[in-house]
């Protein structure tokens, strides 16, 4: 309407054209119109884009520079700090000690700090192997030598001369709390001597009364951050004796507090164990000719010195059964012959005890404080051992029974139910090492048994005897791998891993038993031999034997021999205790 009115005047036409042009420009290009209103294009926006581009370039340069610096540091340290070299070990080695006798003691520990276990043994001789003599050390000859042997190659690491005679020893005690024991504790002559497992130096000595055995170390009681040691003193003779527990500082060897009477029930002491319950409460188990008893280590520590028990726990279910003197009756029977701890493997169950009488073995549940199962046995000729025959994660029990006629029966009993899982009859004319086992990653154990060689079963003469070792892998229960083993007069035997998860081997200590040889002069004909062999090396030197349904060796098993050997070669081992 406004345009029509302006048509009557000339000036109106001009104004109208201008108005239309402005309106058209504004509607068709609104942004352009705004730029014209503000006086031209946005030069400030262009400058911003250039700044953003430069900032992006600087970020890229900074990123690449930081990456270059990081890689330079990594490569520099890779040359400055080389990768650790795994120790090279010999699969088999022998160590011979001439003019010596040895003892039933064979222990392991990392003496050389190379993460490979080394071997400790004790022998008696007039002179050592590292230019040390008894006379030179001011000791009567012959004397004892505690020897550390390198596990990788059998070389001497150190040795320590000690006064004879030998009573007992235990390595891996004391030491800094949480880092494992670094002491070998040796009871000999009238002394208790602590020796550093890394250097062989004597750290401390203490006088002692007659000590039948030594307890495992207890946690630090005197707040010096070093595991302390508890030693129970008693006599195993028929003469009644005082049963005292003495606490020693693992750091200085000084006695902590005073002697403590354990308050054991009337009866002759046979043995003792230190035991930790599922709640980590520590107890001393006392095996007497009346049965099995327990007393809290915390109670004994408090009696030795007020406040000494502050770091020791007590188990409520156990303490409810304690009498006024703190003595806890676990198994009341004079027929009890031995007590063993059942532990390790893949099972998460609480620790148990294996009780042996003259006619049965029993599994004792330490939480319910009752017998879980009982299996009848005949006369056992060796201490029961443990391993995993099935894959339920519960350790099974290996028993050796005397069958008469120079024959033994090897039985593997289910650790959960007490039923027989496997059995084997072997000729056995002389004492053999007890069975041993090594745990694998597939939940089974490799079992190592000893007996007379199968080829000599019809020859009962001593001259015809030859010892063999047998390997059993549970997935192949009908096949044994037999290897003729020339070792004679075996004093100690141990199967183990020398490294974490690898290096499965066994150790054999042979020679004359020093406990049976108290002569002051050795005639020079005796010798002690320590042998280490890799278990898989025995596989290639073995032949397969079939095991019949009745547990009798029924001859050739060559049709399965290669399959069994291949299974052994593929095995990987676990370092879990069993």
| Same structural domain, 439 and 480 | yes
| Same structural domain, 14 and 136 | no
| Of the listed ranges 148-162, 307-321, 451-465, the one predicted with least confidence | 451-465
| Same structural domain, 303 and 245 | yes
Band (pLDDT 50/70/90 cuts) for residue 241 is low
Residue 501 in any domain: the answer is: yes
Q: What is the pLDDT of residue 242?
A: 55
Residue 366 in any domain: the answer is: no
Cβ-contact 167, 151 below 8 angstroms: no
Number of Cβ within a 10 Å radius of residue 506? 19
Band (pLDDT 50/70/90 cuts) for residue 102 is very high
| Same structural domain, 545 and 445 | yes
Residue 362 in any domain: the answer is: no
Q: pLDDT (tens digit, 9 = 90+) per residue, 419-478?
A: 999 999 998 877 889 999 999 999 999 999 999 887 544 444 444 458 899 999 999 999
| Same structural domain, 385 and 500 | yes
Residue 267 burial (C-beta neighbours within 10 Å; 0-12, 13-18, 19+): middle
Cβ-contact 206, 253 below 8 angstroms: yes
Cβ-contact 471, 447 below 8 angstroms: yes
Complete DSSP assignment for 210-261: --S--PPEE--SSSSSB-EEEEEE---SSS----EEEEE-TTT-PEEEEEEE
Q: Is the pLDDT of residue 281 over 80?
A: yes
Question: For 206-232, what is the mean pLDDT?
Answer: 67
| Same structural domain, 158 and 266 | no
Q: Which of 159, 188, 208 is the last residue of a domain?
A: 208
Q: What is the pLDDT of residue 73?
A: 80
Three-class SS of residue 545?
strand
Residue 288 burial (C-beta neighbours within 10 Å; 0-12, 13-18, 19+): buried
Question: For 297-305, what is the mean pLDDT?
Answer: 89
| Same structural domain, 294 and 405 | no
Higher pLDDT: 167 or 220? It is 167
Three-class SS of residue 58?
helix
Share of the chain above pLDDT 90, in %: 46
Q: pLDDT (tens digit, 9 = 90+) per residue, 32-50?
A: 444 444 444 454 555 555 5
* pTM of structure: 0.81
| Of the listed ranges 10-14, 216-220, 223-227, the one predicted with least confidence | 10-14
Q: Which of 334, 361, 388 is the last residue of a domain?
A: 334
| Same structural domain, 76 and 120 | no
Helix or strand run (H / E) with residue 35: helix 30-37
Q: Which of 208, 230, 264 is the last residue of a domain?
A: 208
| Of the listed ranges 33-47, 220-234, 378-392, the one predicted with least confidence | 33-47
| Same structural domain, 430 and 547 | yes
Task: Write the DSSP symbol of residue 380.
Answer: B
Three-class SS of residue 263?
coil
Q: What is the pLDDT of residue 20?
A: 37
Tell me which residue has tokens 């009557």.
Answer: 8
Bridge partners, residue 490, by sequence: 510
| Same structural domain, 101 and 70 | no
CATH number (domain holding residue 99): 2.40.10.480
| Same structural domain, 408 and 436 | yes
Question: For 390-398, what is the mean pLDDT?
Answer: 92
Residue 271 in any domain: the answer is: yes
Boundaries of domain holding 23: 1-30
Residue 357 in any domain: the answer is: no
Question: For 482-503, what is the mean pLDDT?
Answer: 90
Residue 389 in any domain: the answer is: yes
Residue 199 in any domain: the answer is: yes
Which of 352, 363, 355 has its CA nearest to residue 380? 355
Residue 296 in any domain: the answer is: yes
d(CA 542, CA 559): 14
| Same structural domain, 555 and 417 | yes
Tally of structural domains, the chain: 5
Question: For 541-552, what is the mean pLDDT?
Answer: 89
């Amino acid at each position: 309407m406004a345009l029509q009115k302006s048509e009557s005047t000339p000036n109106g036409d001009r104004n109208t054209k201008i108005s239309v042009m402005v309106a058209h420009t504004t509607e068709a290009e609104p942004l352009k119109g705004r730029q014209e209103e503000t006086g031209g294009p946005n030069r400030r926006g262009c400058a911003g884009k250039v700044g953003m581009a430069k900032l992006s370039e600087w970020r890229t340069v900074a990123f690449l520079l930081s990456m270059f610096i990081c890689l330079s540091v990594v490569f520099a340290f890779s040359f400055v700090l080389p990768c650790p070299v795994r120790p090279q070990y010999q699969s088999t080695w022998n160590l011979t000690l001439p003019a010596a006798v040895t003892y039933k003691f064979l222990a392991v520990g990392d003496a050389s700090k190379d993460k490979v276990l080394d071997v400790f043994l004790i022998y008696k001789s007039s002179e050592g192997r590292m230019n040390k003599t008894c006379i030179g050390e001011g000791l009567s000859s012959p004397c004892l030598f505690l020897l550390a042997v390198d596990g990788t190659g059998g070389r001497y690491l150190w040795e320590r001369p000690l006064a004879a005679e030998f009573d007992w020893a235990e390595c891996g005690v004391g030491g800094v709390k949480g880092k494992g024991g670094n002491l070998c504790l040796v009871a000999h002559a009238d002394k208790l001597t602590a020796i550093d497992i890394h250097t062989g130096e004597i750290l401390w000595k203490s006088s002692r009364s007659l000590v039948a055995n030594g307890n495992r170390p207890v946690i630090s009681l005197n707040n010096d951050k070093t595991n302390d040691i508890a030693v129970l003193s008693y006599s195993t003779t028929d003469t009644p004796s005082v049963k005292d527990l003495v606490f020693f500082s693992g750091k200085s060897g000084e006695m902590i507090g005073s002697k403590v009477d354990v308050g054991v029930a009337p009866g002759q002491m046979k043995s003792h164990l230190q035991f930790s319950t599922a709640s980590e409460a520590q107890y001393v188990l006392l095996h007497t000719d009346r049965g099995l008893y327990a007393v809290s280590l915390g109670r004994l520590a408090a009696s030795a010195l007020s406040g000494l028990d502050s770091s020791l726990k007590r188990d409520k279910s156990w303490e409810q059964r304690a009498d006024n003197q703190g003595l806890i009756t676990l198994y009341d029977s004079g027929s009890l012959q031995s007590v063993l701890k059942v532990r390790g493997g893949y099972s998460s169950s609480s620790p148990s005890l294996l009780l042996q009488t003259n006619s049965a073995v029993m599994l004792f549940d330490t939480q319910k404080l009752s017998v879980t199962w009982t299996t009848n046995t005949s006369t056992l000729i060796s201490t029961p051992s443990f391993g995993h025959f099935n894959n339920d994660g519960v350790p099974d029990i290996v028993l050796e029974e005397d069958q008469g006629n120079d024959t033994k029966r090897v039985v593997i009993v289910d650790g959960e139910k007490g039923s027989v899982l496997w059995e084997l009859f072997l000729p056995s004319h002389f004492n053999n090492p007890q069975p041993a086992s090594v745990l694998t990653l597939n939940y089974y154990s490799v079992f190592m048994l000893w007996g007379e060689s199968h080829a000599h079963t019809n020859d009962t003469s001593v001259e015809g005897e030859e010892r063999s070792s047998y390997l059993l892998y549970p997935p192949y229960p009908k096949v044994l791998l037999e290897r003729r083993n020339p070792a004679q007069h075996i004093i100690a035997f141990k199967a183990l891993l020398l490294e974490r998860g690898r290096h499965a081997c066994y150790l054999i200590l042979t020679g004359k038993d020093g406990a049976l040889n108290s002569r002051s002069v050795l005639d020079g004909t005796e010798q002690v031999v320590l042998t280490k062999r890799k278990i898989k090396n025995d596989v290639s030197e073995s032949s397969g034997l079939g095991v019949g349904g009745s547990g009798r060796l029924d001859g050739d098993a060559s049709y399965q021999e290669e399959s069994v050997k291949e299974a052994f070669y593929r095995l990987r081992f676990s370092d879990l205790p069993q």
